[in-house]
Structure 1
Amino acid sequence: MALLHIPLNQIEEQHILELVATRAPETNIIEYKRETYGNSLRDDLEFLADVSSLANTSGGDLIIGIAATQGIPEAPVPFTGDFDGEINRLESRARAGLQPRISLESRAVPVQGGHILVLRVARSYNPPHRIIRENSNRFWARSTAGKYEPNVDQLRELFTLAPRIADQTREFRTNRLIRIASGDAPVTLMHKDVLVLHVVPFSAFDRDAPLPMAELERDYTSFHPIGSRQSQGLKINFDGFLAMSNGDRAANVERAYVQLFRGGIVEAVDGLYVRASGQPLIPVVEVERSITANAMRLMRDLSGIGVAAPYAVLASLLTVERGRFNFAHPGDGAWYDRMGSYTDRPQYAFGEVIFDSAPAGIQACAERMRPLLNQLAQSGGMAGSVSFRDDGTFMTGR
């Protein structure tokens, strides 16, 4: 038994007591400490070794305030001091003592007699993390037997993790674009010219946690298609879960869909062109707004079902007919004066953008996405995105 399946902000006293009652042993994802770490250099190095070993392997929880013998919990020993101050102290030490930084969240769980401190360390997809306190320069990993210092071969494996994920992500996108372009999407698309948005959690290629299918099947608002307020049709399929835009199931065509794959990857596809006077147009400003808003929404939806960051966001255009980029803002009466270049290829696959967490708001999301949006604008002949004001504010149109 462990606590990783429970969102950190939902852990309560009963969960802590269950660990003790069931004698849940320490594993590679959970470690108990009777007392918090002291202020000596030795204490500091032990703390950094504990949290970095979790980050460098599977992630996990460091639980302070439980007495254990040989890894078996025996009784709560609640922390009675300033828990906010203690959490801030430990988080500050982790930030200053490790390189690169790790993702660390904390919660003080109220229990009889005080608090149990739970430090949740996310599995890192940018390993290995080393201790830099006092020039220690040591690496730690973790197994079911506890933390250990990896050998050369194990370190090499840690160093190659991030490039391997990048290659897998790009390969996945390439294969999906080929299938969509050839008509092998999970639905029959109304338009052949489409925007394809992929949100790829770094955990997707080794994730073994099942999707909450029953919950998704009842929820028409999460993972809904681009351009819709909610899904008009939901379907569990071989690849995972499918949300569709057309309420008329007899019509058998879809303007847009979202396919949530079993590993947690999201594929959102939307009909692309707006046609004016018969001219196929790519409305760049609207596409930029769509990419930004829907990437943020889908990252939040993933977080809501327990598929954690980091996320890679990838946007692509499939352009079957020779179209033209247009840079007019919605409602601009002089739309024709903002024409850009014609499309010169059937596919535009823009560079990926990495998010360490789901963005807090549209401005933060757009700022991070700006290199991708610039690349989209440059494809149409502009030097950069026209959706940002001179002060850097992203124009949402609201």
Structure 2
Amino acid sequence: MINKSFTDITLDDIKELQQNSVKEGKSIDYKEQININDKSARKELAADITSFANTVGGDLLFGIKEDKGVIKSIVGIEVQNIDYLLQKIENTIRDLVTPRIIGLQIQVIPVLDNNYIIQIRVPQSYNGPHVVDGRRFYGRNSVGKYPLDIDEIRAKFLGLAELGDKIRDYRLDRIFKIKANEGHLKVENQGIISVHIVPMNSLVFGSPFYNLGKPDDLSLWALVSNGITTITDIDGVTGYDRTYNKDQETVGGYHHLSRKGITEIIDTTIIPYDNSLSIVLLSKYLNGVLERVRENMQKLQINGPFVIMISLLNIKGIKINYYNNGFGGRMIRKEDLLLPEVVINDFENLESQLESTILLLCNAAGLNEIPKRTI
């Protein structure tokens, strides 16, 4: 894979691959032509793409003539209607690859007029393994793609299950720390709402550390904020609202982004001192803060899938209602309420993706449906 941000890659970077005799292998592949005019050719393209996704990710470069694995010449592909070709590539991937590969990128690099290199960047996938046409699984090694055998397929499915266990263990560890007031900042230890957004690749051995840049360039507003102060430490960056810092020791909530791309959002202000929680109000603030998470993930080029985990801690005796007027609902008899994990591919249509979670919260309060009225 070319060690450069995808959208910054130019023809000069391709020429540098040629000058340095970079050989195709596990994470890069050169092809002179792209053929998607018949089904067998489309399956071949899908096989190439899934082989990267099921292994370590990589770059497919079309318009490159190679000899013994190194670039012989940059010939480009003559295309009269580039948008039509890109659409056919996307349709091929959509129709033949399941599950969908998250974070896959396609771009064209001009060589001459109507002559392009087509680059497909395939990320290492954490929602696979991916199958071609419902039949064949492919992996990749130093000499190219190959069909996965049954043991390799089983290992990949088991690896996904182990990753799920790691994510759940991470959640429980964070909850224990938050309840013991050992979170990223000290909060009032009552009526705590915690939201964790975990990229699925963040807990894998060797996963990247992200350069978070300047905290002021990130959107680190807490669930409820009238202003924001940011601090940086070895774990990452944290934003909090000094408005709620009543005793100079605790804050009402914070928004933490770790160098692994994991977000932790804590709030103790939505559940007021009359011990009630409005589902409508919580939904409103959740939608707002998750939009800020989306902005951060996009800015830092952190790809999904993501796991969203919403927990209500120290809530025994709190009444959950539809609205602030206390109508409906009932007292919660459990100390903590850990809503099921939600896996999302991206942050599009987030409200509908979280609908089942909000419904479960309603059910926990003895309510049978999600309120239709919004704030």
Give the TM-score taking structure 1 as reference length: 0.85
Taking the aligned partners of 2:150 and 2:227, their CA distance within structure 1 comes to 51
Taking the aligned partners of 1:4 and 1:350, their CA distance within structure 2 comes to 39
Taking the aligned partners of 1:272 and 1:229, their CA distance within structure 2 comes to 12
1:222 shift after superposition: 2.0
1:6 shift after superposition: 0.8
Note the alpha carbon deviations across 1:250-279, whole angstroms, 9 max, x for none.
92321111222332211110114443xx52
Does structure 2 retain, via aligned residues, the 8 Å contact 1:373–1:384?
no
Q: CA separation of 1:249/1:212 partners in 2, compared to 1, >3 Å: closer, same or farther?
A: farther
1:229 shift after superposition: 6.1
Taking the aligned partners of 1:252 and 1:73, their CA distance within structure 2 comes to 61
Question: Aligned AA for 2:317?
Answer: R
Does structure 1 retain, via aligned residues, the 8 Å contact 2:195–2:311?
yes
- Tell me which residue corresponds to 1:227: 224
* Secondary structure of 2:152's aligned partner: helix
- Tell me which residue corresponds to 1:121: 122
- Tell me which residue corresponds to 2:2: 3
In the alignment, structure 1 segments of 5+ residues that lack a partner are 330-334, 390-394
Does structure 2 retain, via aligned residues, the 8 Å contact 1:131–1:138?
yes
* Secondary structure of 1:299's aligned partner: helix
Q: CA separation of 1:218/1:274 partners in 2, compared to 1, >3 Å: closer, same or farther?
A: closer
Identical aligned residues as a percent = 22
- Tell me which residue corresponds to 1:17: 15
* Match runs of 1:30-69 below 5 Å: 30-37=28-35, 39-69=37-67
- Tell me which residue corresponds to 1:156: 154
Within the candidate set 302, 305, 323, 1:307 is matched to: 302
RMSD after superposition: 2.5
Does structure 1 retain, via aligned residues, the 8 Å contact 2:224–2:269?
no
Q: CA separation of 1:344/1:123 partners in 2, compared to 1, >3 Å: closer, same or farther?
A: same
Taking the aligned partners of 2:233 and 2:193, their CA distance within structure 1 comes to 23
Q: CA separation of 1:64/1:234 partners in 2, compared to 1, >3 Å: closer, same or farther?
A: same
Question: Aligned AA for 2:9?
Answer: I
Q: CA separation of 1:65/1:229 partners in 2, compared to 1, >3 Å: closer, same or farther?
A: farther
* Match runs of 1:278-293 below 5 Å: 279-293=274-288
- Tell me which residue corresponds to 1:379: 364
* Secondary structure of 1:165's aligned partner: helix
1:141 shift after superposition: 0.2
1:79 shift after superposition: 1.6
1:17 shift after superposition: 2.9
1:147 shift after superposition: 1.1
- Tell me which residue corresponds to 1:186: 184
Q: CA separation of 1:72/1:371 partners in 2, compared to 1, >3 Å: closer, same or farther?
A: same
1:216 shift after superposition: 3.6
- Tell me which residue corresponds to 1:345: 334
Give the TM-score taking structure 2 as reference length: 0.90
The number of residue pairs the alignment matches comes to 370
Question: Aligned AA for 2:255?
Answer: V
Taking the aligned partners of 2:43 and 2:279, their CA distance within structure 1 comes to 52
- Tell me which residue corresponds to 1:392: none
Taking the aligned partners of 1:312 and 1:154, their CA distance within structure 2 comes to 25
Question: Aligned AA for 2:367?
Answer: M
* Secondary structure of 1:27's aligned partner: coil
- Tell me which residue corresponds to 2:242: 246
- Tell me which residue corresponds to 2:145: 147
Question: Aligned AA for 2:350?
Answer: C
- Tell me which residue corresponds to 1:212: 211
Taking the aligned partners of 1:300 and 1:164, their CA distance within structure 2 comes to 29
Q: CA separation of 1:321/1:354 partners in 2, compared to 1, >3 Å: closer, same or farther?
A: closer
Does structure 2 retain, via aligned residues, the 8 Å contact 1:303–1:309?
no
